[in-house]
Amino acid sequence: EQFCNAWHGRNKIIISSRINSYLKYPLSGDIEILYLKAFQYEEIYEFIKKWSVIISRSENNIDVKEIQNTFERISKLVFSSPALIELSKNPLLLLIICLIHSSGTVPKNRSELYPTLIETLSSTWEKTKGIDLEKFSWRDIQNILKEIAFMMFQLKKTEISQIELSG
C-alpha cells in the first residue's frame, strides 16, 4: 500500500490477487477493482482450438487433420468431466490442462494438476536444456523446488542465482 501511495498519480499500477486474499487485506484509497471473468463453454472451445493450431505449428506440423485431432482429443477430455470443465473456466488452469494433455494423463482435480504440471514442465525443460535428471525422482525434484521456493521466500527474492543456491 505504501508503494502505491508513493507512486500515485505518476504511474498506473496493477495489483493481482486471489479474491479471498484481497478481501482479507483490502487496500485503502481510490482503487478500481476488476475481476477476471471465468471462461464460458464457447471460450473454452475457442481456447482449445487456438491451442491446437499453435501446438501443431510449434511442432512444424501444419496438417489440418492433426490440428483437428488435437482439438477433438482435448475437447473430449475437458467436456467429458464436470471437474475438468470447472477447472477449465480458469484460463491459466486450461492452459495447464492443454500442456499436460500433450505429454500424458490429465488429473481431474486442482491439487493433482499442479504437481503434474511441474513434472511436465521439468521434463520438457530437461529435454530442451540437455540436462539428465534421471538420477532424481519427481518427488526429489519437488522437494528441491520446495526448498528453493522457501529460501527465496525467506530472503524476499523473486530470482536467485546458481551461486546463491550452491553457497
Distance CA(50)–CA(56), nearest Å, equals: 10
101's grid cell: 494433455
Distance CA(134)–CA(89), nearest Å, equals: 35
Which 8-state DSSP code applies to residue 11?
S
The pTM for the full model equals: 0.60
The helix/strand/coil state of 59 is: coil
Check: CB of residue 27 under 8 Å from CB of residue 1.
yes
Residue 110 CB partners (closer than 8 Å, separation 6+): 87, 93
pLDDT value at residue 76? 92
Task: Give the residue, 28 or 152, on which the prediction is more confident.
Answer: 152
162's grid cell: 546458481
Highest mean pLDDT among 38-42, 108-112, 145-149 belongs to: 38-42
pLDDT of residue 80 exceeding 70, the answer is: yes
pLDDT 10s digits, 84-141: 899 899 888 898 888 888 766 777 776 777 777 777 766 666 655 566 667 777 778 7
Q: Provide the pLDDT confidence category of residue 13 given band limits of 50, 70 and 90.
A: confident
pLDDT 10s digits, 17-27: 777 777 777 77
Distances (CA, A) of 46 to 29, 36, 52, 53, 64: 38, 17, 10, 11, 16
Check: CB of residue 52 under 8 Å from CB of residue 74.
yes
